[in-house]
Amino acid sequence: MPELPEVETTVRFLRKARPPILGAGFVDLWSDFKKIVKKPKNFRQFKKEIQGKKILKIRRRAKNIIFELSSGYSLLIHQKLTGHLLYAKWEKDRVNDYIHLKFFLNNGKILALSDLRKFAKVELWKSPDLEKELRSLGPEPLEKNFIFKKFKEALKDRRGKIKQILMNQEIIAGIGNIYSDEALWRAKIHPFKEPSKLSEAELKKLYQSLKEVLKKSIKLHGESISDYRDPSGSRGNFDRIRMVYRREGEKCSRCGRKIKRLKMAGRSARFCPLCQKQNP
């Protein structure tokens, strides 16, 4: 699933896109899977309401891409498991078999949503209503004001496994399977450990590791081990420094012990049983 680094990569690409997407307006819309639009549920109404609106700003909140539009509206796109946005001008109608939504812009370009599993969602909101909806999300881990003290407060009195807590979007925004695994490995913390069992030193190391791995991934344009691509169709390069995610059975690059994978409430946790002991 695209997480904070992949979504941030997409947003930064679109902000700098040429011809500019900022200022461009929607002139038409196509879809072969209209259920991808969740709000309004009537696709014809969605098409009618978005036509003519201009893109004024593009930003990220957690794993959501938000296009601030003219007339006080906002377009929210969540790429879910296998979605990614493409921005191009195609001579052929078909680029891949998984493009299910196309926005035709008045700058001659197409903004398309490709999604193998068809789990992505697209919503058109009145901007003030969207801001209210997003209030339940936790703080952004790369914001300057997300200092160590706020990190500690976010984890205080939380019960459960640390990996699950890191992935809870109402506690900290934008982190999922990939970067929780990677940050915990770097901090030498077992994914099943409870926050209350972590020392001050471990908490500081986890805080630093989380910021470090997210920043590095953004610099490398995200992880493309699965379906993610940036809007040009290019792969991300985080795979070069991926240490544990989807590396079960391989040797830990730090100690040589084989990486393990355990199930966790329907998800998976990858870790080194030697470097990340649950009860050291």
Q: pLDDT tens digit string along 246-273? A: 999 999 999 999 999 999 988 899 999 9
Active site residue 2: yes
Domains 4-136 and 148-271 share a fold: no
Given a cut of 60, is residue 94 above it in pLDDT? Answer: no
Active site residue 267: yes
Q: What DSSP state is assigned to residue 26?
A: E
Instruction: Please report the pLDDT score of residue 265 as a whole number.
Output: 85
Q: For residues 104 and 26, is the Cβ–Cβ distance under 8 A? A: yes
Q: For residues 171 and 157, is the Cβ–Cβ distance under 8 A? A: no
Catalytic residue among 47, 63, 121, 161: 63
Average pLDDT, the chain: 96
Active site residue 5: no
Q: Which residues are CB-contacts of 94 (< 8 A; sequence separation ≥ 6)?
A: none
Given a cut of 70, is residue 93 above it in pLDDT? Answer: no
Domain-by-domain residue ranges, the chain?
A: 4-136, 148-271
Q: Which fold does the domain 4-136 belong to in CATH?
A: N-terminal domain of MutM-like DNA repair proteins (3.20.190)
Active site residue 63: yes
- Can you tell me the mean pLDDT for 149-154? 97
Q: What is the pTM of this model?
A: 0.96
Candidate from 39-53, 77-91, 133-147 with smallest mean pLDDT? 77-91
Peptide bond into 40 cis (omega under 30): yes
Catalytic residue among 3, 6, 123, 182: 3
Catalytic residue among 2, 5, 141, 231: 2
Q: Which fold does the domain 148-271 belong to in CATH?
A: Helicase, Ruva Protein; domain 3 (1.10.8)
CA distance 140 to 120: 22
